[in-house]
Amino acid sequence: MLTENQESLDATISRLTQMQDASCSLSAVPEPQLSDDEWAHIVVNLGGRLGARARGHKSSARSFVEAVLWMAGSNDAYWRCLPIEYGANHSVYVRFSRWVKAGQWDPVLACLPESDARRQGLARMVATHRASLQRKQRYANHQAA
């Protein structure tokens, strides 16, 4: 009896693992999203504290921007599908959201060429997130009235 239950549990775990792998079936090894020249141009345009922090040798800012560019090019993947090499997916999402609220993606978008697919994907992500924030704000204002 115990063996049947164990086999059933093992089969269920295996099936769920395969389903999760299928939902995150994008490339597991991230490719660099930015050249050194592109990153240098973005850092200059970030300005203020963000630019100063991003100039460090071991920059988490570059990894963060590359993580978001990976998401932008991943055809609407879930944040949980973000490769672990970029950091914790929730942390990247929260930082992305804060940058959207602060308008920090505008300089990054300005540094990428108009015809670049990364720019188009990032612009779509930022616009979608801004629209979502505006809907939430309108709903909150409506509830308060």
Q: How many helices (H) and strands (E) does the chain have?
A: 7, 0
Q: pLDDT, tens digit, for every residue of 118-141?
A: 999 999 999 999 999 888 888 877
Within 10 angstroms of residue 70's Cβ, the number of other Cβ atoms is 24
Scan for tokens 């240098």, then name that residue. Answer: 40
Task: With a cut of 70, say whether residue 93 has pLDDT above it.
Answer: yes
Q: pLDDT, tens digit, for every residue of 23-67?
A: 565 555 567 788 889 988 888 888 766 655 555 545 588 889 999
Instruction: Report how far residue 53's alpha carbon sits from residue 30's, in angstroms, rounded to the nearest whole number.
Output: 23
Whether residue 83 contacts residue 70, with contact meaning beta carbons closer than 8 Å, is answered with yes
Task: With a cut of 70, say whether residue 72 has pLDDT above it.
Answer: yes
pLDDT value at residue 139: 81
